[in-house]
């Protein structure tokens, strides 16, 4: 094989020590993307890989979990055979939400990289700041939906209940399309059918050992899923009665207002680009609500507690 270029990178083998994320990030931050070959030496000598299926799974997992913003839909990992030996090719597209970076280090020179010639170099902080300032933060609005034949009857019913019927331009008005007019990931989440699982689990004790009930409310519009979860947990929010010599006191297990806000916030602020949905778990002594995601990109912990707000899902 020919030598490395500004669009081609070779790696002899996949190891824990190999900084694969650095190379992926550099191509995501480039104008054209590029190719990374695993099982090929620096000068183009084919070495091959011994466990091609296992290595391909590891590569996908590392790209999915170690890089931000999400590289969903921007890469492909495919097997190839060169000179009778198995080789892995990672095809990287140029990302639309630059700068991409290692989640561990954030938007710093330790986390952001760029391609310069045939080498990968840290990105200067000034360049990082400029790139971040130029991109939008609403990523699910920019990701194209894998399915374009979507129906929105459940969404229409919701708006009619609110006496705000949707017109023919609702997809554009609700920002459910990309800049090129294709339905985006937000549209996919609000469509009548999707692949998002929303579960409410109930356990008999204070741990996850004995599951006594598991309810699935997903695979439909997030609007409908939210309402179903609210109704289910409202049923579980029992009224406890305490009779004293003076009066009969009735209290709910949890504050109904706080409970509703917690459930809605779990749906609204969840990071769906990680392909993880909100989770609701009822134990004998508590209710746990889990919403996936860390602080939105560009928002520090200090700024968060000072009251700054960056909407994850506009």
Identify the three-state secondary structure at position 37. Answer: strand
**Which of 190, 221, 256 marks a domain boundary?**
190
Q: Give the pLDDT confidence of 198-230 residue by residue, as tens digits.
A: 999 999 999 999 999 999 999 999 999 999 999
pLDDT for position 230: 97
Per-residue pLDDT tens digits for 276-298: 899 999 999 999 999 987 776 65
**Confidence at residue 299, expressed as pLDDT on a 0 to 100 scale:** 65
Longest Cα–Cα distance in the chain: 90
Output the average pLDDT for the chain: 90
> pLDDT tens-digit profile of 7-53?
999 999 999 999 999 999 999 999 889 999 999 998 999 999 999 99
Order of strands, sheet of 287-290, starting from the edge strand that comes earlier in the sequence: 211-216, 199-203, 279-282, 287-290
What pLDDT was estimated at residue 52?
A: 95
Percent of the chain with pLDDT over 90: 71
CATH of the domain at 54: 3.30.950.30
Q: Name the nearest CA neighbour of 198 among 292, 100, 64.
A: 292
**pLDDT score of 146:** 87
* One domain for residues 17 and 120: yes
- Tell whether 115 is covered by a domain: yes
Q: Which residue has the higher pLDDT, 52 or 139?
A: 52
- 130 and 15, same structural domain? yes
Number of structural domains found in the chain: 3
Q: Domain check: are 68 and 12 in the same one?
A: yes
Is pLDDT above 90 for 65?
A: yes
Q: Is residue 2 part of a domain?
A: no
Cα-flanking dihedrals φ and ψ of residue 145, to 5°? -65, 140
Is the same domain home to 265 and 164? no
Confidence of residue 313 (pLDDT cuts 50, 70, 90): confident
Domain check: are 150 and 124 in the same one? no
The answer to whether residue 285 sits within a structural domain is yes
Residues 94 and 14 in one domain: yes
The answer to whether residues 215 and 199 touch, using CB atoms and an 8 Å cutoff, is: yes
User: Do 292 and 234 fall within a single domain?
Assistant: yes
Residues 291 and 186 in one domain: no
Residue range(s) defining the domain that contains residue 204:
199-305
**% of the chain residues with pLDDT over 70:** 95
16 and 113 co-located in one domain: yes
Task: Indicate whether 301 belongs to any domain.
Answer: yes
Any domain includes 311: no
Is residue 14 domain-shared with residue 123, that is, in the same domain?
A: yes
In a domain, 314, yes or no: no
Is residue 57 scored above 80 in pLDDT?
Answer: yes
What is the pLDDT, as a whole number, of residue 130? 81
Query: Residue 310: inside a domain, yes or no?
Result: no
Which has more confidence, 16 or 274? 16
Q: What is the mean pLDDT of residues 290-314?
A: 73
Q: What angle do helix axes 256-268 and 222-236 make, rounded to 10 degrees?
A: 150
**Domain presence at residue 216:** yes
Phi and psi dihedrals of 142, rounded to 5?
-105, -20
Does 203 share its domain with 283? yes
Integer Cα distance of 296 and 212 in angstroms: 35
Residues 182 and 226 in one domain: no
* Residue 134 pLDDT > 70: no
User: Tens of pLDDT along 151-198?
Assistant: 999 999 999 999 999 999 999 999 899 888 999 999 999 999 999 999
């Amino acid at each position: 094989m020919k030598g490395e270029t500004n669009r081609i990178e070779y790696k002899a083998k996949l190891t824990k020590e190999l900084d694969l994320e650095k190379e992926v990030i550099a191509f995501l931050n480039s104008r054209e993307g590029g190719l990374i070959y695993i099982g090929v030496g620096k000068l183009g000598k084919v070495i091959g890989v011994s466990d091609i299926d296992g290595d391909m799974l590891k590569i996908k997992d590392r790209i999915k979990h170690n890089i931000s913003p999400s590289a969903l839909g921007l890469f492909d990992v495919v097997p190839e055979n060169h000179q009778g030996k198995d080789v892995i090719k990672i095809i990287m597209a140029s990302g639309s939400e630059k700068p991409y970076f290692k989640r561990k280090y954030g938007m710093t020179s330790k986390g952001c990289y760029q391609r310069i010639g045939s080498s990968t170099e840290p990105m200067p902080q000034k360049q990082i700041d400029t790139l971040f300032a130029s991109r939008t933060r609403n990523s699910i609005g920019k990701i194209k939906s894998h399915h374009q034949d979507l129906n929105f009857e459940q969404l229409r019913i919701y708006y009619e209940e609110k006496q705000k019927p949707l017109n023919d331009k609702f997809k554009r008005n609700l920002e459910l399309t990309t800049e090129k007019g294709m339905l985006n990931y937000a549209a996919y989440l609000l469509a009548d059918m999707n692949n998002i699982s929303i579960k409410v689990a109930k356990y008999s004790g204070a741990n996850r050992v004995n599951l006594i009930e598991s309810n699935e409310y997903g695979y439909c519009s997030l609007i409908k899923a939210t309402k179903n979860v609210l109704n289910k947990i409202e049923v579980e929010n029992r009224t406890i009665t305490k009779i004293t010599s003076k009066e009969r006191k009735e209290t709910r297990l949890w504050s109904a207002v706080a409970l509703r806000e917690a459930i809605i916030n779990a749906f609204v602020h969840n990071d769906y680009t990680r392909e993880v949905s909100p989770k609701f778990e009822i134990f004998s002594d508590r209710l746990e609500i889990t919403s996936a995601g860390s602080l939105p990109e560009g928002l520090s912990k200090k700024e968060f507690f000072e009251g700054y707000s960056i909407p994850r899902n506009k």
